[in-house]
């Protein structure tokens, strides 16, 4: 009975996590459709949002409904983009990408998460200068992929850098070249594991002891918030 209970509990937690991801993806799609139209062929931002949703196994009905909310075909809440900046324990720089329908509620919840975990919410620009905003395209390593060929194709398409990691290839672009490079890689038949505009830290901060626990808890609280789309930081988690 206990084992069955654990399985049910684990499934409930997984379902809740999946629902939260779908909520965030739906907001992203709705805002992209509202700002650039409902056709992903002519709205690169919407196409990227749909690709992310499909990678998370979001049902097509949910995707279509989110697009229709953005184009006004069906009613929906109005969301706005906000970027928050702050400090985690030991001065770790944190940037948050937010989509919210209630700025005051979100600010209070974000401030609470920082205060509870040894950090503080800062002002606009307080840490963003510590990051470079880049396009990042990740492709999982595979025996069928020739590294040199992929690298040359990426660079010819306009990539800035090509990084070989243990399990993946990482293509770095400027934000402006992100969509064209992503499309070029897809057109060559590569399966993209993840693609997004990210904040890459110029330097990283190491943490020890309780600060590690606090930073993990801070990230968990922020990612658990429906309004938080992305959490970027300069914590070196490998140390």
Span 77-113, pLDDT tens digits = 788 899 999 999 999 999 999 999 999 999 999 999 9
CA distances 228 to 38, 73, 80, 155, Å, are: 23, 26, 12, 33
Contact 140, 168 (CB under 8 A): yes
Number of residues written out for the chain? 239
Torsion of CA 12, 17, 22, 28, to 10 degrees: 160
Torsion of CA 14, 192, 83, 239, to 10 degrees: 80
Which tokens belong to 102?
A: 């209630």
Given a cut of 90, whether residue 17 has pLDDT beyond it is: no
Can you identify the CATH homologous superfamily of domain 80-122+206-233?
YebC, transcriptional regulation domain (3.30.70.980)
Which of 6-15, 39-48, 187-196 has the weakest average pLDDT?
6-15
Which tokens belong to 150?
A: 């992929």
Domain ranges, ordered by start, for the chain: 2-71, 80-122+206-233, 130-201
> What does the pLDDT read at residue 218?
97
Residue 93's DSSP bridge partners are 87
Domain range 130-201, CATH architecture = 2-Layer Sandwich (3.30)
Contact 85, 125 (CB under 8 A): yes
Contact 189, 197 (CB under 8 A): no
CA distance 224 to 218: 10
Torsion of CA 225, 62, 180, 125, to 10 degrees: -20
> What does the pLDDT read at residue 166?
86
Q: Does this chain's domain 2-71 share its CATH topology with 130-201? A: no
**Is 195 strand, coil or helix?**
strand
- 2-71: CATH number: 1.10.10.200
Given a cut of 70, whether residue 7 has pLDDT beyond it is: no
Closest CA to 131 of 182, 200, 60: 200
Looking at per-residue pLDDT, the higher value among 132 and 6 belongs to 132
> What does the pLDDT read at residue 14?
55
Residue 136's DSSP bridge partners are 172, 196
Which tokens belong to 86?
A: 């702050």
CA distance 217 to 211: 10
């Amino acid at each position: 009975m206990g084992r069955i209970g654990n399985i049910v509990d684990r499934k409930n937690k997984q379902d809740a996590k999946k629902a939260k991801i779908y909520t965030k993806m739906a907001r992203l799609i709705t805002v992209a459709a509202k700002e650039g139209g409902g056709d992903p062929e002519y709205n690169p931002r919407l196409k990227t949002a749909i690709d992310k949703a499909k990678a998370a196994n979001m049902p097509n009905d949910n995707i279509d409904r989110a697009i229709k909310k953005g184009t006004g075909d069906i009613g929906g809440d109005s969301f706005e983009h906000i970027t928050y900046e702050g400090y985690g324990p030991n001065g770790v720089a944190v940037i948050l990408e937010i989509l919210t329908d209630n700025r005051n509620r979100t600010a209070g919840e974000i401030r609470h998460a920082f205060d509870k975990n040894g950090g503080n919410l800062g002002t606009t620009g307080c840490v963003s200068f510590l990051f470079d905003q880049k396009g990042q395209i990740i492709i999982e390593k595979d025996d069928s992929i020739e590294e040199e060929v992929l690298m040359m194709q990426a660079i010819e398409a306009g990539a800035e850098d090509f990084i070989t990691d243990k399990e993946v290839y990482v293509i770095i672009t400027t934000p402006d070249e992100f969509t064209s490079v992503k499309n070029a890689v897809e057109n060559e038949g590569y399966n993209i594991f993840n693609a997004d505009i990210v904040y890459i830290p110029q330097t990283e901060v190491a943490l020890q002891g309780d600060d590690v626990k606090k930073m993990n808890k801070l990230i968990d609280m922020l990612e658990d918030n429906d309004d938080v789309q992305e959490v970027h930081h300069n914590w070196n988690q490998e140390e």
